[in-house]
Chains A and B, each alone.
Chain A
Amino acid sequence: MSTIDSTAGPSLLPAAFAAWFSAKGWQPRAHQMELLARATAGESLLLIAPTGAGKTLAGFLPALTDLTRRGRLPPGSAFTGIHTLYISPLKALAVDIERNLMKPVEEMGLPITVETRTGDTPQAKRQRQRLNPPDILLTTPEQVALLIANGEAPRFFKDLKYVIFDELHSLVTSKRGHLLSLGLARLRRLAPGLRTIGLSATVAEPMDLRRWLVAQRPGAARHAGLVTAPGGARPIITILKSKERVPWSGHSAKYAMPEVYEAIRDHKTSLLFVNTRSQAEILFQELWNINEDTLPIALHHGSLDVGQRRKVEAAMAENRLRAVVATSTLDLGIDWGDVDLVIHVGAPKGASRLAQRIGRANHRMDEPSRAILVPANRFEVMECQAALDANYLGAQDTPPVGDGALDVLAQHVLGMACAAPFDEDALFAEITAAAPYTGLPREKFGRIVAFVATGGYALKTYERYARIRKTQDGLWRVSNPQVAQQYRLNLGTIVEMPMLNVRMVKRGAKGAIGRGGASLGKVEEYFLEMLAPGDTFLFSGKVLRFEGIRENECLVSQAFSLDPKVPAYAGGKFPLSTYLADQVRSMLDDPHRWGGLPEQVRDWLALQRDVSALPKRDELLIETFPRGSRHYMVAYPFEGRLAHQTLGMLLTRRLERAGRRPLGFVATDYSLAVWALDDLGYSFAVERPSLASLFDEDMLGDDLEAWLDESFMLKRTFRNCAVIAGLIEQRHPGKEKTGRQVTVSADLIYDVLRSHEPDHILLEATRNDAAAGLLDIQRLGDMLARIKGHITHRRLDRISPLAVPIMLEIGREPVAGEAQDSLLAEAAEDLIAEAMGVAAI
């Protein structure tokens, strides 16, 4: 790693910059100068820096100094393409950066033009940008995909010198990141000399990001250079020690609201983070119930109406609010006035997520951030303590970049055909330079191209309808201009859940529903399916009465009740990270580490130790006990809800086969409960089946396959893949498909395809996705391997203290798979019972 002599620093800076720094009384920081020197010398670089370290300025310095030396182009000079592309995951961030960047540019009087281009940019401005590009363009991944799919892309990007990726750690792990990596591969072809600069928060695996930033070749991996900024002051984090009783289960943290309110009152501006929208709603309502001082407290989550969100953001920036209750929509680096306290309600799940959220408070590096963690239940107390330890240790976990998704590749291939006719081998060489696609076999790429052309089916009946065709010159080109038009409308990797607009209406005296009131935001359709007219629920900080659905809108009226029925159970959306899970297990195993835990939690653990056992770090504790007319088995793997759900499905299949008559299961982040008609404790004791064989790794073979075939989760994954790959469309010129239509047909397409062509490339893409994300199979496999030979079984007469939280969850889970039909049978029985009742009279 090269080091920069501090005396060599200033000479790299044009005079205007040196003067500007000294006028501000600032000194360029070492990492800013190092990045400038190495980028100017031609290196692509990853900058890892904590919030507030002047990351943005550092990223732009090479471009700003280069453009300053170039000077303003004289009128009448030849067309010049953009010089620097800045890409951010959020369009709000792009807009924010423009403001921050324009300040130094204007103060120094630099001869540089800076513009943004997002989905909100008017058509006229986009046209103008194509004819007369700015020097620096600030944009989003989706806009990059649009720009490179255009025939004018070579001209537009020919002079590109720098591509800056902000928040790279959050960009690369998703399908958006995959699409962007393919876009970058194309940019490299259009401007072979370009350098990349990645800006990232601290991450566990910087090698992944460094690989992502540069072109890969077959053979050894190549990496971008690394520049690291020193960390700032350590944050001051505490866990709320409530005088109230910490609940066994649940996610609302209602018990702690008076103390949270106290904390808000004691600080200037607080940000309250929660994991889900419904938690945000509940918390917001609880706070207003006790807001005796009528402090200005606002609500902010992704489902709210945009106008309303912008109002809250503006009020926050002007320091007019004392607190904002928010979900992850606020996760990333937008500047927010003078926040002096972050309160995190619920478990923080991944420790890196916690670090990011805490970085929100106080953007100056030299002062410590302040944060309070508020666990919602007893397991979360331990999780918070583990997260706390993790943060002090500086440990971070970010999901791995992973192999490039095939549906994303299909989208990109169509985009490239829209840009210009392509040669299949040349495009393959180009896309395998993108880090996520380096290992892609040539044959699979061929199948993707065939999929883009005609769907790639074994039954070749669609040749005459092909979207792209190979012509005599050997190049693939689009069949007609409508294909390109459809591509542009459907581009992107973010597939929305089917959402309905929530509209407030007035109820007439006779119950008639009036028309059009204010729009409050959007809510998922599956949530509404469980509501009957007259039910009340929380949304947008109000208790609303559900009136019905009209076309694409959910109609609601003001409910005259303070006690909403919140029918949908919504736990933490994010699974417990592997690292944090390990921390929680080792804490349980080591009573010396219980010191930081509240007394009631310590007592709970001690009681568990006395009546049953505490799970050891590397073993799996299994308890069995009778309750009511059922027999229960509770396992404590601590591997997160997704992995537990998969495990639960597989275990019930196996128990069924062993004749133990299982009835159901429920999974939380920490444990898994299965119940059956047979005495499971006895069955395991006499080894019918033995626990070792029940938990054998071979369940990930045939059982998994068999279950996947019927899994509703796979259908949801398929829908996303099908939309991203362009098999079904979310939008079509002239007519909008509603979310519902997309859902219904995707499920049916999945069924038809699976039964007739089970090895179709899109089903392969779906299985890959499901294995990685939805089902956490990798993690489950690691766990099964780890616990092999380390299963401890306790046969108990009654429920243990540690089992109480999960037993309270029973009945709150959504219904899945085979259980659906038993619900129908139950409803049908009502009719039979009615009929029998009549007959008996």
Chain B
Amino acid sequence: MQRLALASAKIEDFGAVSARTVVAGVEAVCDPLGALYLPETRLLVVSDLHLEKGAAFARRGMMLPPYDTLATLKVLEAVILRHDPAIVVSLGDNFHDRVGSAHLPDIFRAKITDLARGRDWIWINGNHDPDGTVDLPGQSADELHYAGLAFRHEPSLLSPAGEIAGHLHPAATVIRREKAVRRPCFATDGRRLLMPAFGLMTGGLDLRHRAMTGLFERPSLVAHMLGRDRIYSVRFANLIG
């Protein structure tokens, strides 16, 4: 639970633990909590929250702990307090299933309402929750085009330039001296950026997986990996040392 611990830790020098990058000419900061912040437009992006994943499984007979929503919202709160964004974009798979937002316990609904106060909130629809949200602040959309960037859930194969997408839960594996460490990451080649999954009960997909094929120019691909208390930026070619 390193992100939950990190969310409540005090950070002295944010510049030292985050990573700066540029996507299609737009400056962005990779926050070690797994969110992307665009300072010029004061826009914060999070992706694949998968809220109510535990409940979604319980509905199907697997009694996973009911605490994942609470944990994910705590981290979300920390990252919103840090950047105080004007706009929050949640990049799809906001809920783990279609009925998730309708069945959301009131206490969590109130928390989200609280976080959204005084800012614009955009829910991008994902494949898990294509119908939008129920009784929550903000507006739902399939895509958002803003400040020269395109925000959508699934990366499109046609137009990489300036795309911020989620869906794939990218993770990178560093191998040194026959030892392997795998972590979620922001993946970008300067044209497109894939967001790590923000939900605390979500898995990852390795950058070498064939589902990632063709998404990036590998020579310029960098993985900004979520470490215990900071971002580690590693060039794709350097992952295996």
Residues of A within 8 A of B (CB): 451, 454-457, 459, 461-462, 465, 467, 482-483, 486, 529-530, 532, 550, 567-569, 727-729, 740-741, 744-745, 748-749, 751-757, 760, 811, 814-815, 818, 820-821, 823-828, 830-831, 834
| Cβ B4 vs Cβ A755 within 8 A | yes
Contact of A831 among B58, B176, B234 (CB under 8 A): B234
A530 CA to B240 CA in the complex, in Å? Answer: 9
Q: Decide: A744 near B179, CB < 8 A? Known: A755-B4, A834-B235.
A: no
Q: Quick one: closest B residue to A709, CB to CB?
A: B1
Nearest-neighbour CB distance to chain B for A535, whole angstroms, equals: 10
Which of B62, B177, B240 neighbours the largest number of chain A CB atoms within 10 Å of its CB?
B62
| Bound-state Cα–Cα, A455 to B58, Å | 9
Q: CB distance B202 to A550 under 8 Å?
A: no
The reply on B147 being an interface residue by CB < 8 A is no
Residue of B nearest to A833 (CB): B238
Q: How many angstroms from the CA of A744 to the CA of B202 in the assembled complex?
A: 8
Cβ–Cβ contact B63 & A752, under 8 A = no
Contact A831 B67 (CB under 8 A): no
**Is A749 a contact partner of B181 (Cβ separation < 8 A)?**
no
30 A-B pairs within 8 Å (CB atoms) are namely: A454-B58, A455-B58, A457-B67, A459-B67, A461-B58, A461-B105, A462-B58, A465-B58, A465-B59, A482-B61, A529-B173, A568-B178, A748-B201, A751-B4, A751-B200, A752-B68, A752-B201, A753-B67, A755-B1, A757-B67, A821-B181, A821-B229, A823-B174, A823-B176, A823-B179, A823-B181, A827-B241, A828-B225, A828-B234, A831-B238
- When distances are taken between beta carbons in the complex, the residues of chain B under 8 Å from A462 are 55, 58, 63, 66
CB of A512, distance to nearest CB on chain B (Å): 14
Within 8 Å by CB of B202, from A529, A748, A756, lies: A748
- Quick check: is B134 within 8 A (CB to CB) of the other chain? no
Contact indicator A461/B66 (Cβ below 8 Å): yes
Q: Are A824 and B204 in contact (CB under 8 A)?
A: no
Q: Do B234 and A830 have beta carbons less than 8 Å apart?
A: yes
The complex places the Cα of A467 from the Cα of B59 at a distance, in Å, of: 10
Q: Smallest CB–CB gap between A352 and chain B, Å?
A: 34
- By DSSP majority rule, is chain B's interface helix, strand, loop, or mixed? mixed
Contact A749:B64 (CB < 8 A) given known A461-B105, A827-B241: yes
Would A467 and B61 count as touching, CB distance under 8 A? Answer: yes
Q: Which residues of B contact A752 (CB under 8 A)?
A: 1, 54, 65, 67-68, 71, 200-201
A729 to B181, CA, bound (A): 26
- Nearest-neighbour CB distance to chain B for A557, whole angstroms, equals 18
Decide: A821 near B4, CB < 8 A? Known: A457-B66, A749-B65, A752-B200: no
Within the assembled complex, what's the spacing in Å between the Cα atoms of A71 and B61? 49
User: Residue-by-residue, is B1-25 near A (CB-CB < 8 Å gives 1, otherwise 0)?
Assistant: 1001000000000000000000000
Q: How long is the Cα–Cα vector from A454 to B179 in the complex, in angstroms?
A: 40
| Chain B residues whose C-beta falls within 8 Å of the C-beta of A461 in the assembled complex | 55, 58, 66, 105
B203 at the interface (CB under 8 A from A): yes
Output the least CB separation between B115 and chain A (Å): 20
Seen from chain B, the residues whose Cβ lies within 8 Å of a Cβ on chain A are: 1, 4, 54-55, 58-59, 61-68, 70-71, 105, 173-183, 200-204, 210, 222, 225, 227-229, 232-235, 238-241
Contacts of A729 in B (CB 8 A): 62
Residues of A within 8 A of B222 (CB): 831
Residue contact A756 to B177, C-beta cutoff 8 Å = no
In the complex, which residues of chain B have a beta carbon less than 8 angstroms from the beta carbon of A569? 178
A530-B178, A824-B227 as given contacts; A831 in contact with B235, CB under 8 Å:
yes
In whole angstroms, how far apart are the Cα atoms of A755 and B175 in the complex?
30
Rounded to whole angstroms, the CA-CA distance of A169 and B71 in the bound complex is 45
* CB atoms of A530 and B180 under 8 A apart: yes
Given A459-B67, A532-B175, A729-B62, output 9 extra A-B contacts at Cβ < 8 Å. Answer: A455-B64, A457-B66, A462-B63, A483-B61, A744-B204, A752-B200, A757-B67, A824-B225, A830-B235
Cross-chain contact A757 with B65 (CB below 8 angstroms):
yes
Q: Is the CB of A567 within 8 A of B58?
A: no
Residues of A near B240 (CB, < 8 A) are 532
A828 touching B233, Cβ below 8 Å: yes
Query: Which residue of chain B lies nearest to A834 when distances are taken between CB atoms in the complex?
Result: B235
Contacts of B239 in A (CB 8 A): 827
| With contact pairs A467-B61, A729-B62, A831-B222 given, residues A821 and B67 touching in the complex (Cβ less than 8 Å) | no
Q: Beyond A550-B210, A814-B179, is A756–B235 a contact (Cβ under 8 Å)?
A: no
Are A756 and B225 in contact, with the CB atoms below 8 A? Answer: no
User: Which of B71, B105, B180, B203 contacts A756, CB < 8 Å?
Assistant: B71
Cβ–Cβ contact A741 & B65, under 8 A: no
Q: Which residues of A contact B200 (CB under 8 A)?
A: 748, 751-752
- Nearest CB in chain A: distance from B194 CB, A: 18
Contacts of B202 in A (CB 8 A): 748
Partner of B232, one of A741, A757, A828: A828
Return the 3 tightest CB-CB contacts between A and B, nearest first: A455-B63, A744-B203, A756-B67
**Closest B residue by C-beta to A824:** B232
What are the residues of chain A within 8 A of B225 when measuring CB–CB? 824, 828
- Least Cβ–Cβ distance between A466 and chain B, in angstroms: 9
Query: Assuming the A-B contacts A461-B55, A811-B177, A827-B176, are A727 and B4 also in contact, with contact meaning beta carbons closer than 8 angstroms in the complex?
Result: no
CB nearest to B105 among chain A residues: A461
**Are A745's CB and B178's CB within 8 A?**
no
CA distance A532 to B238 in the complex (A): 13
A728, chain B: closest CB distance, angstroms: 6
Closest to A529 in B: B180
Give, as a whole number of angstroms, the nearest-CB distance from A518 to chain B.
23
Write out the residue numbers on chain B whose beta carbons fall within 8 Å of the beta carbon of A754: 1
A692 to chain B, nearest CB (A): 33
Cα–Cα distance between A827 and B183 once the two chains are bound (Å)? 13
**Shortest distance in angstroms between B56's beta carbon and chain A's nearest beta carbon?**
10
Among B4, B58, B105, B200, which residue has the most Cβ atoms of chain A within 10 A?
B58
CB contact under 8 A between A465 and B66, given known A532-B240, A748-B201, A827-B241: no
B178 and A821 contact, CB distance less than 8 A: no
Note all chain B residues with C-beta closer than 8 A to A530. Answer: 175, 178-180
Chain A residue numbers with a CB within 8 Å of B178 are 530, 567-569
Give A814 to B181 CA distance when docked, in angstroms.
Answer: 10
Q: A744-B203, A748-B203 are in contact. Are A830 and B61 (CB under 8 A)?
A: no
> CA separation between A798 and B66, bound complex, in Å?
56
Which residue among B177, B183, B239 has the maximum number of chain A CB atoms within 10 Å of its CB? B177
Closest to B169 in A: A744
- Contact status of A830 and B71, CB under 8 A, knowing A455-B58, A457-B65, A461-B66: no
Closest chain-B Cβ to A255's Cβ sits at a distance in Å of 24
| Bound: A825/B16 CA distance, A | 13
Measured CB to CB, the nearest residue on chain A to B241 is: A827
Interface centre among A532, A729, A749 (most CB of B within 10 A): A749
Known: A465-B59, A811-B177, A821-B227. A756 touches B65 (CB 8 A): yes
Closest to B74 in A: A755
CB distance from A832 to the nearest CB of B (A): 8
Across the interface, name the chain B residue whose C-beta is closest to A755.
Answer: B1
Interchain CB contact under 8 A, A824 and B174: yes
B66 touches A455 (CB 8 A): yes
* Among A456, A530, A834, residue most surrounded by chain B Cβ atoms (within 10 Å): A530
A549 to chain B, nearest CB (A): 8
Given contacts A744-B204, A745-B201, A748-B201, contact A824 B234 (CB under 8 A): yes
What B residues does A824 contact at CB under 8 A?
A: 174, 181, 183, 225, 227, 232, 234
* Partner pick for A821 among B68, B204, B228, B233, CB 8 A cutoff: B228
Distance to closest chain B CB from A699 (angstroms): 23
A residues less than 8 Å from B4 (CB atoms) = 751, 755
**What residues on B are CB-neighbors of A728 within 8 Å?**
62, 64
Most B-side CB within 10 Å, residue of A529, A530, A751, A815: A751
The residues of B that contact A757 with a CB separation of less than 8 Å are 65, 67
Q: State the CA gap A625–B64 with chains docked (Å).
A: 50
Q: Is the CB of A753 within 8 A of B65?
A: yes
Q: Is the CB of B64 within 8 A of A827?
A: no
**Chain A residue at smallest Cβ distance from B202:** A748
Q: Which residue of B lies closest to A756 (CB)?
A: B67
B232 surroundings in chain A (CB, below 8 A): 821, 824-825, 827-828
